[in-house]
């Protein structure tokens, strides 16, 4: 196959040369990509690796690569590799599980473990978000209760103040009424004597 020979010939080139990716291995027309990051692999290899972050998944039948491409990678197997569930693509780029090597049991086990951990992480994050939302609701209810309690205590104090004022006004009214009766009785006595 020409792709395999091109990949093997490119992997045998010297470390200082730029390695060109075969067009059949990385076909950018088949992938709806958001951005491509170029990052250095380890210090053992000077060739850059390309990591794709997809937004809506591949547009063809082939699953998109979610692990760094290196010259040693062969072409995609015909749907035999486990593709990453779309829900994991919402995770932070560094937390997304990488596609496993289908020929390695250890790689598959690590992939399954990573998927379980990512699922647990998403579950915990969802619970945290729900708990934070519930906390905000409870804080709002507590604030409202405190305002209601303050209003109630203010109304109680105002009611007590009005009762005291009413009592003092009633006392003053009775005093004024008695004074008025005294004044009238005095006037009647004066009129009787005159």
Residue 194 lies in a domain: no
Domain boundary among 30, 63, 80: 80
User: Is 168 domain-assigned?
Assistant: no
pLDDT of residue 174: 96
pLDDT value, residue 84: 60
The reply to whether 88 and 147 lie within a common domain is yes
Structure confidence by residue, pLDDT tens digits, 108-165: 888 888 888 888 888 999 999 999 999 999 999 999 999 999 999 999 999 999 999 9
Domain boundary among 39, 61, 80: 80
What pLDDT, on a 0 to 100 scale, did the predictor assign at position 44?
42
Residue 138, pLDDT score = 97
Buried/exposed 16-52: b ≥16 CB within 10 Å, e otherwise: eeebebbeebbeeeebeeeeeeeeeeeeeeebbbebb
pLDDT in tens, 28-58: 444 444 444 444 333 444 444 444 444 444 4
Q: Would you say residue 181 has pLDDT above 90?
A: yes
Identify the burial level of 88 via C-beta atoms within 10 angstroms of its C-beta, where 0-12 means exposed, 13-18 middle and 19 or more buried.
middle
Tokens of 146: 């405190």
pTM over cut 0.85: no
Q: What is the pLDDT of residue 86?
A: 67
At residue 167, the pLDDT reads 96
Residue 94 pLDDT > 60: yes
DSSP state letters, 117-177: HHHHHHHHHHHHHHHHHHHHHHHHHHHHHHHHHHHHHHHHHHHHHHHHHHHHHHHHHHHHH
Query: What is the pLDDT, as a whole number, of residue 166?
Result: 96
Residues 7 and 57 placed together within one structural domain of the fold: yes
Number of domain units in the chain = 2
Whether 74 and 90 map to the same domain: the answer is: no
The yes-or-no verdict on residue 169 having pLDDT over 50 is yes
Please report the pLDDT score of residue 168 as a whole number: 96
Mean of all residue pLDDT scores within the chain: 69
The boundaries of the domain holding residue 63 are 1-80
Same domain? For 25 and 54 the reply is yes
β-strand partners of 69: 50
Provide the percentage of residues in the chain whose pLDDT is more than 90.
32
State residue 151's pLDDT score.
95
Same-domain pairing of 66 and 92: no
Instruction: Give yes or no: residues 72 and 114 share one domain.
Output: no
């Amino acid at each position: 196959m020409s792709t395999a020979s091109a990949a093997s010939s490119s992997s045998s080139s010297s470390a200082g040369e730029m390695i060109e990716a075969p067009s059949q291995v990385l076909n950018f027309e088949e992938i709806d990509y958001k951005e491509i990051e170029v990052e250095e692999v380890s210090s053992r290899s000077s060739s850059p690796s390309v990591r794709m972050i997809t937004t809506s998944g591949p547009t063809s039948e082939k699953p998109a690569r979610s692990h760094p491409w290196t010259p040693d990678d062969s072409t995609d197997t015909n749907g035999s590799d486990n593709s990453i569930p779309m829900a994991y693509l919402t995770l932070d780029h560094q937390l997304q599980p990488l596609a496993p090597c289908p020929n390695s049991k250890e790689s598959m086990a690590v992939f399954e473990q990573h998927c379980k951990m990512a699922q647990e992480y998403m579950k915990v994050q969802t619970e945290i978000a729900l708990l934070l939302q519930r906390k905000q609701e409870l804080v709002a209810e507590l604030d409202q209760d405190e305002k209601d309690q303050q209003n109630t205590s203010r109304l109680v104090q105002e009611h007590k103040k009005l009762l005291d004022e009413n009592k003092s006004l009633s006392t003053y009214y009775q005093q004024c009424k008695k004074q008025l009766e005294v004044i009238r009785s005095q006037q009647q006595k004066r009129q009787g004597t005159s």
